[in-house]
Amino acid sequence: MSNRKVPLQSRSKERVEKIISCAETLLKTTELSKVTTSRIAEEAAVPVGSIYQYFKDRDEILLALGEQILERENNLLTATFEELAPKAHWRRIVAALMENLTDLVAGDEIRYRLDIALSGHDEWQLANLASENQMVHLFAGYPRFSEIGYSRKQAEAVARTIIVCVKAMVLRRPPNYPLGYSTDLAIEAEKVAIAYLASIFGD
C-alpha cells in the first residue's frame, strides 16, 4: 500500500517493529503534538537517521502502525465470524462481533488519535477502505443471504451499510468526549445492526 522501504534482514525488521511499537506507546501516553520523529527515536533508543532509512516522516510511521492495527482488527473479527457463521444465529454473531469491536476500542486512544493525525492522508483512507472491503466480502458470504434469495451484490450492499454505520458510531466519537463513550455507542450500534438485519432476515 505504501512505497516505504521494506526491511529484509532480521535485525532491520526488528528495528522497524521497535520503532512502530514505540510510536504506539507514545500515542497512548503523550499528547499527539508531542509525538514527533525525534521523540519516537528517543523512545526506541535509535538514531533519528535510522528512522529515516525506512520512514520519510512521523506520519508514515503512524500509517504503518495504523495498518497493523487494522490487520489485527480484521483478523479478530474474521476469526469470530468464521467460528460462529456455520452454526450460530445471526443475532449471536452480531453480538459477538460487537463485543470484539468494543474490546478493541474500549480504553484505547490509538484509533481515535490515528484518525486525527492521518485525516488528510490518502493512504490512511485507502487502508481503511481496504479493511472495509475485506469485511464486506467476508460478511456478504453469510449463508443466510442466499437462503432468502439475495444476490451477492445485494448481500454486499447490506454488509457495507452495517459496517460503515457501526464504524462511524463506534470508532469516531466526538472530540472531547470520554473514552468510555465508545462503549455506549457500541451498544447503540448493535441495536441498529440487529434492527436492520431483522427487517431483512425476518427473525
Residues of 74-109 as b/e, b for ≥16 C-beta within 10 angstroms?
beebeebbeebbeeeebeebbbbbbeebbebbeeee
Question: Per residue of the chain (203 residues), what is the pLDDT tens digit?
Answer: 455 656 556 777 898 999 999 999 998 888 888 999 999 999 999 999 989 999 999 999 999 999 999 998 899 999 999 999 999 999 999 999 988 887 776 556 788 788 889 988 999 999 999 999 999 999 999 999 999 999 999 999 999 999 998 888 877 666 666 666 767 888 888 899 999 999 999 88
The answer to whether position 40 is within a domain reads: no
Structural domains counted in the chain: 1
The answer to whether position 139 is within a domain reads: yes
- Domain region containing 130: 66-201
What pTM was computed for the model?
A: 0.84
Cα distance between residue 186 and residue 102, in whole Å = 6
In which residue are the cell numbers 525525534 written?
38
The answer to whether position 116 is within a domain reads: yes
